[in-house]
Structure 1
Amino acid sequence: MSATSPAPLRTRVTPGGWAALAWLAGLLFTVLLRLRLPGQEEADVLAGVLFLRWDGLTALGLATALALRGSALLDRRPTAALGHLLAAAVLCSTPLGVTAIPLAQYLAVDVALYTIAARRPTKEAERAVLLAAGVVLGHLAVRFLAGWTAGTTTALAVFSTAGAVWLLGRAARQTRLHAEETRARAAGQAVTAERLRIAREMHDTIAHSIGIVALQAGAARLVIDKRPELARDALDEIEAASRETLAGLRRMLGALRDAEGSGTAGGPAPAEPPGLAALDRLAETTGAAGVRVTVRRVGAPRHLPPDVDLSAFRVLQESVTNVVRHSGADRCTVTVDHRDPGVLALTVENPRAAPGRRRAPAAGGSGYGLVGMRERVGLLHGEFTAGPRPGGGFRVTAHLPVPPGDAPA
């Protein structure tokens, strides 16, 4: 559980922002080419007749306004934004006195093409690249038909960049979709593994309870004639254990049903599954791994159903393990709150890692511990949250409903 770091600049700037920057940078480059800069005898490109006239400057201004408007629309209406940017590129070529759409004025269109190809469905992306290519070819065709000089080489360069960025965008989309599919599959496998683990632990809990019932029943049979009061006590114990086990079994029925038929065989489990009573031992073991765990118990400890007790321990165990593996922090705090009679509140939080402290290796962790914890809490109809703390570090909280002690099964 690690603190979040600021997002890189390329993700903080919107695609519309990049398109606007591309247009302004291209416009600045185009203007500088037509000016005699220090150290030059003359400008690299001869300025067109209209370049410094009022009508030429007006056309440049209108083209820039169209481009900025298209950039603003790119996040919400990408196809309309592409149309604005293409119109700006064509309009800008007139006052520059060039024979084709300049590559510098097409950079913003390339940004829009990449965005559409990377984010939009296939049909919309194909229509976008056809529209962009059609405008370039149409501009050339108009000049040919009018008998004007046409910059075929420049148009081919513009056409090539459009195709390249479109292909890059489609590749980025496929990569993202594959990554999302992989994450969803891995999360599903983590949920299934957690449910199987819960089912095995529930099996051990039920076996333990049935053993107690068998022992009490045998004792009651032996003393029912001579000491009926002892037999009555034994029957009371049998009734309490049976009701508690049945209630826990019903709460875990979803996990047992979903894991049914998987055929996964677990290794030998302990005869008595751990619970919150093992929390101090967990803190001691974690301290030996280099992370000091402070355990705070709020309210008077109480008897918990076995499934709630076990799930609470597993959530705390996984959270502390995440601190050791991923946070880089040297301490964490575990809080167990018993004050609400109907809810057991659990909190695990760690501060921001100290500068220079290296994280411990993941030790083969799946990386989906939060998914398993959320699934375990959800099966008990509880609430689970995990995320960064306001002052840095990470916090995990879980609220597990605790059924009333005298509630019928």
Structure 2
Amino acid sequence: MRTTPGSPRAWLRAHPLFGDSALAAVVTGLSLVAAELSGSGQGQVRPPTVLSVALVVLACLPLALRRRWPFALLCLAELPQIILAALNHDGGLAGLASLILLYTVAAYRGLALSLVAAAVSSLAYAVGRILADDRGDWTQHTFAAMVALAVWVVGRSVRLRRAYLAELVDRAERLERARDADTRAARAEERSRIARELHDVVAHHVSVMTVQAAAARKVLDTRPEAAKDALVAIEEMGRTAMREMRGIVGVLRTDGETGELAPQPGMGDLPGLVDQMREAGLRAQLWIEGERRLLPPGIDLAAYRLVQEALTNSLRHAGPSARAWVTVRHEPSELLVQVEDDGRGGTGEFTRGPDDRPGHGLVGIRERVALYGGILRIGPRQGGGFEVRARFPLKD
């Protein structure tokens, strides 16, 4: 049973010495009263003396520390009762103190020690009956043995139940920690995904806008209409970038807010992407070969981002007169995506010229392709230019 914090029951559980001391005082008082009533009546029991009163007190007072040293106090409490039996004095309810201590050993100590405590209690009872020359009725002795056994069984049951509840609490805490760890891992993975998406979106659109702005600056004086068209393209590109960014970060909004959750782009959006690159000045062409099939969402997005990043790099680094080719081949067991240009040759796996620094875009492409078990090649193209080629395995 659970206790409410601050309640008297909770306070007693937090201060067991107070409750056990009160229990010892109550049992001692009742034992003295019972011994006095038994000694003043008819029978062979001797009336109470100072010694018998002291022995009754010694048999009951160990209850005050029963949770700290239950087995030792049980042995200590049995000695005064044996002496009382030998002197033919009635111990009153001192036997109740032995039962309580036996229950405490069974409830708070291991099985082996509780069995020893039960044996000590039985032996002390037998010795006391022998010293008192009380052969009595076997029914009475059997009843006493059954009571002691019941007390021991109840104590063991309480201990097992306490251990079971502790195991449940520990298991719940472990599950809670595991769930928190999974949540943190999921959040980290989601942050990484959003970072990749934001990089791809921002890098692509800002690169295109930069090229358009440079073109507008060059023809602003001589061809105002061309500069106006470039500015319109920059405006449209900015609006598109904002739309895509809202769609990506919309999942980060709180429950009380509503975001614009647009679907992520895929291979079906490649014609529009190629048209954007043409408007920005890159002579790009698209070829789609094979029978089109429905792609898994992750591969669909990864392949689109690969083409987007590769064309953006071609636009930035290949040169003003470069051409680019996008080839998408649908095969029964894989998807081939290849982006080539005939611009300046590469000096390394990620560079396009002596002044260019490697960015995070192509590194992100490698991570995307590896995530879906694909094969990626990035490097100079035979005959000049640059090439990005990836194969994504497809499961039936």
TM-score by length of 1: 0.43
Higher relative contact order (CA 8 A, sep 6+): 1
TM-score by length of 2: 0.45
